[in-house]
Amino acid sequence: MTHERDVLITEVALRDGSHAIRHQFTVEQVTSIAKALDEANVPYIEVSHGDGLGGSSLQYGLSLTNELELIEAAASVVNNAKIAVLLLPGIGTMPELKQAAQLGAKMARIATHVTEADVSPQHIATAKDLGLETVGFLMMSHMAPTAKLVEQAKLMESYGADTVYVVDSAGALLPHQVSERIRALKDTLTVNVGFHAHNNLSLAMANTLAAIQEGATRIDGSIRCLGAGAGNTQTEVLVSVLDKMGIKTGVDLFKMMDIAEELVAPILEKPQEITRDSLVLGYAGVYSSFLLFAQRAAKKFNIDSREILIELGRRQVVGGQEDMIMDVAAELAAKKHAVNFI
């Protein structure tokens, strides 16, 4: 069944939400949620480790279930939705991308730091060769001025991306900053423009609406806010807001409400809310997936996790540098001990 849509939503709970539950998704959970999302007419469903293909590791967090099994399981139960995967060059590999395509993935989202689009041409080209709809995903977009973002987006477009996303990985952008960035991409690119929000400053919905008003037509949401940090734009809420605005998503609102309540809520270890740590993520501009690592390090070294996150922000640490979190915590603890000793 096809639906007229003004905005195409990618549901990211089965990828971004992996962070929130320590990458412990089961085949049964992914199968039931993907099937229900497909029945609710969600066009794209992203399934991967939180850090993308190949992310299961001691550094990023070990998955309970091999993500290729999860991708295959999701692909086996959808009739209309396309299964998407995330790949960060340097973490995920070409063979893993090929395997994902063989198992039923239809979209590849190739993610780089906002200033490092030049590491993605081979991955984007490979995705296109595999017949996948291909998205360039510019993470931590708050860390570069708009002109730099435009330059990097143009590179991804030149490599063959069908869509380029402004990704607010830290939930640090303010609505006027989102508007400025989306407007600049719309004025410059010929491909689709997308936006991915995090809710660490309680601005995911406002930022997403700002992006849509400036012409973004590809939007990410996570059902029940299941995502890293304080979660993403809550999909079932977004669908209801857009419906009230007369913006068509083609997604069944009541079914989304039921999925959120009956399938996703029981998986959450605790409600997705803006805690002091997730608030600091947005305030400091630190990658949302750092939260659980910082909490673990804080406990180990008996210091405040907020101090760790603020210091990571000061050092402009980016996704892929999770191993630095323990080092930073150790340094801060050593300084505190030295001060106390004096």
Q: Which residues are catalytic?
A: 19
Cα-atom radius of gyration of the chain, to the nearest Å?
19
Number of H helices, E strands in the chain: 14, 8
Q: Which amino acid makes up residue 106?
A: K
Token pair, residue 265, equals: 């809520």
Integer CA distances (angstroms), 257 to 70, 208, 227, 316, in order: 23, 19, 17, 38
Neighbouring-strand partners of residue 61: 57
Asked whether residue 38 is marked as a ligand-binding residue, the answer is no
Token pair, residue 174, equals: 């303010």
Asked whether residue 337 is marked as a ligand-binding residue, the answer is no
Measured between alpha carbons, how far is 34 from 44 in angstroms, rounded to an integer?
10
Q: Identify which of 111, 45, 109 has the alpha carbon closest to the alpha carbon of residue 73.
A: 45
Q: Identify which of 207, 224, 293, 177 has the alpha carbon closest to the alpha carbon of residue 16.
A: 224
Alpha helices in 199-270 (DSSP H): 204-213, 235-244, 253-259
Measured between alpha carbons, how far is 19 from 17 in angstroms, rounded to an integer?
5
3-state helix, strand, coil in the chain (%, to 5): 50, 15, 35
3-class DSSP assignment, residue 86 = strand
Are residues 43 and 5 in contact, defined by beta-carbon separation less than 8 angstroms? yes
Are residues 121 and 89 in contact, defined by beta-carbon separation less than 8 angstroms? no
Asked whether residue 123 is marked as a ligand-binding residue, the answer is no
Measured between alpha carbons, how far is 140 from 142 in angstroms, rounded to an integer?
5
Asked whether residue 15 is marked as a ligand-binding residue, the answer is yes
Annotated binding site: 15-16, 169, 196, 198, 287
Annotated binding site for Mn(2+): 16, 196, 198
Annotated binding site for substrate: 15-16, 169, 196, 287
